Amino acid sequence: MKIADVHKSFGHLEVLKGVSLELMKGDVICIIGPSGSGKSTLIRCINALTPFQRGSIKVMGIEVNDQHLDKRALRRRVGMVFQQYNLFPHRTALQNVMMAPIQVLHQPRKEVEARARALMKKVRLEGKENSYPGEMSGGQQQRVAIARSLAMNPEVMLFDEVTAALDPETVKEVLVTIKQLADEGMTCILVTHEMRFARDVADRIYFTDRGVIVEHGPPEEFFTSPKDARTRTFLGQLS
């Protein structure tokens, strides 16, 4: 994936002021930064949920800013997990996971069901297949959301502050799931506040502030000797 000089404004407010980064298959990167720095906006631009004015984002050869972009084709290959989980409340957990492969990819039901059950097992929610989202805790819902995105067999996974709405105990269960994914070789972009997790799982860390990427580097380098003053201030505020 290649993101080059992306600019995005909401009306008069410029949120992304020329962001560039590159990603290889199997890379796991974390984007951190203060609120309003544009990290969530950037992630949403990648799978075309939010349009952007200038620049280019190329995902596996698909140019996202293309006028004639087949958005659905892009989204079949890029999965996204949200802060608010956004499970469909009128379907059970298993149905949530199964819905998209059946209705969008038109895959046979039996095959999808088997895969869905395996995914539920993988996120350690075996036994919760027939529960509704309303009956599950936040951490459980978030793991179902991860399973739901994985069911589409994406090549890239985007995580938008997925643990921000959870309480500390449940945060851990979700992070373990993500680490497992990363270790298995999935290409992941995480926007997160969890510094220790970022240090543990990321190949590279990117720091954004006010719409630009201020600094980036491998975690050891980034956390122990940040080069930019803004990075230092931000990391200092956290400890």
Partner 1 sequence: MEVLHRSAFRMPPAHLAPVPPVRLRAWFGLVLIALIVLPAAFADAAATTAGRAGIFATLARWTPLLLRGFGFNILISFVAMTIGTALGAFLGIGLISLSRPIRQVSWTLTQFFRNAPWLVLLFFAMFMLPFQLRIGGLLIPLPDWMKAVIGLSLPVMANVGEIVRGAVLSIPSGQWEAAESLAFSRHQQIWTIILPQCVKRMLPPWMNLYAILTMSTVLASIVGVNEVMTLAGQVEAAEGGRTDLLAPLYGWILLWFFLYSYPIARLTLWLERRYHVEI
Output 80 or 93, the one with its CB closest to partner 1: 80
Which amino acid is residue 32, in one-letter code?
Answer: I
Interface residues with partner 1 (CB under 8 A)? 47, 49, 71-73, 75-76, 79-80, 82, 84, 86-90, 99-100, 103-104, 145, 148-149, 152
- Nearer to partner 1 (CB atom), residue 190 or residue 213: 190
Q: How many residues does the chain have?
A: 239
- Tokens representing residue 71 in the block: 């958005």
| Nearest CB to partner 1, comparing residues 89 and 218 | 89
| Least distance from partner 1 to the Cβ atom of residue 194, Å | 21
Cβ 189 to partner 1, closest distance in Å?
A: 14
Pairwise CA distance, residues 121 & 114, whole Å: 11
CA distances from 17 to 45, 215, 226 (A): 13, 14, 22
Cβ-Cβ contacts under 8 Å for 34 (sequence gap 6 or more) = 209, 234
Q: To the nearest whole angstrom, how small is the minimum distance from the Cβ of residue 157 to partner 1?
A: 11
Least Å from the CB of residue 15 to partner 1: 17
The one-character DSSP state at 133 is G
Q: Which lies closer to partner 1 via its Cβ, residue 56 or residue 86?
A: 86
